[in-house]
C-alpha cells in the first residue's frame, strides 16, 4: 500500500514545485565604481597683458566662463561622472530567502499527500525536499548575481567616454577666445 501512495505523492510534489512563482531576473547590488571618475582637463592659464587689475581679471574670468559654458554646453563646475561610473543600486533578495518558504511549502505538500497516520513523516520529508529546492534557488540567484557583477566590473574598466574630453576641449577653446578678446594672454 505504501508504494501506491508514494508515486502519486512524488508526482504531485513535482507538479506543485513547478507552480512556484517566477522571480524576476536577479540583479546584483552595485554600490559604486571601482575607480574614481577622472575629470577632464579644463585648466586655462591667464596673464594680463594690458595692465588689468586683479578685480578686473576675476570679473572677466567669471563672465568668460559663463559665456564658454553657454557656447560649449559643458560646465566643468558640475560633477562629471561618466555613465559607466555612476552608482547603481539594485535590490536583491537576501541569501536564504527561498529556504524557509521552500521548507514550509514542502512540509505542507508532504503532509497533504501522506496517509493521515504518516502526515508527520510526510511533512518532514517534504520540508527537507523544500529546503533543498529553496537552497538551490538561492545559490542559482547568487551565482547569476556574481556573473552579472563581474560583467559590470569588466565593462566599467573598459568603458571610455571620449566625448567628455571633446566637450572639455570645446570649453577651453571658447574660454580662451573670450579671454584673448578681452586683452589677456592665455596658455
The pLDDT tens digits for 35-65 are 444 556 667 788 888 888 888 988 998 999 8
pLDDT at 160 over 60: no
pLDDT value at residue 87:
46
Angle between helix axes 54-72 and 162-181 (nearest 10 degrees) is: 140
Cell 540583479 appears where? 27
Q: Burial of 170 by CB count in 10 Å (0-12 exposed, 13-18 middle, 19+ buried)?
A: middle
- Give the separation between CA 29 and CA 148, rounded to whole angstroms: 10
**pLDDT tens profile 98-150:** 888 888 898 899 888 888 888 888 889 988 998 898 888 888 888 887 787 77
Q: What pLDDT band is residue 21 in, cutting at 50, 70 and 90?
A: low
Please give the distance of CA 39 from its chain centroid, rounded to a whole number: 22
Amino acid at each position: 500500500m505504501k508504494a501506491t501512495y508514494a508515486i502519486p505523492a512524488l508526482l504531485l510534489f513535482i507538479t506543485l514545485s513547478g507552480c512556484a512563482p517566477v522571480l524576476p531576473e536577479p540583479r546584483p547590488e552595485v554600490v559604486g565604481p571601482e575607480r574614481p571618475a577622472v575629470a577632464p582637463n579644463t585648466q586655462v592659464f591667464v596673464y594680463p597683458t594690458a595692465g588689468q587689475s586683479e578685480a578686473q581679471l576675476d570679473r572677466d574670468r567669471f563672465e568668460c566662463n559663463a559665456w564658454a559654458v553657454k557656447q560649449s554646453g559643458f560646465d566643468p563646475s558640475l560633477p562629471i561622472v561618466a555613465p559607466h561610473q555612476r552608482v547603481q543600486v539594485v535590490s536583491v533578495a537576501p541569501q536564504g530567502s527561498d529556504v524557509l518558504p521552500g521548507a514550509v511549502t514542502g512540509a505542507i505538500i508532504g503532509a497533504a499527500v501522506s496517509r493521515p497516520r504518516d502526515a508527520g513523516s510526510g511533512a518532514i520529508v517534504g520540508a527537507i525536499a523544500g529546503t533543498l529546492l529553496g537552497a538551490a534557488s538561492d545559490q542559482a540567484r547568487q551565482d547569476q548575481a556574481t556573473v552579472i557583477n563581474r560583467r559590470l566590473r569588466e565593462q566599467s574598466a573598459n568603458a571610455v567616454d571620449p566625448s567628455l574630453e571633446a566637450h572639455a576641449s570645446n570649453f577651453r577653446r571658447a574660454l580662451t577666445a573670450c579671454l584673448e578678446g578681452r586683452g589677456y594672454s592665455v596658455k
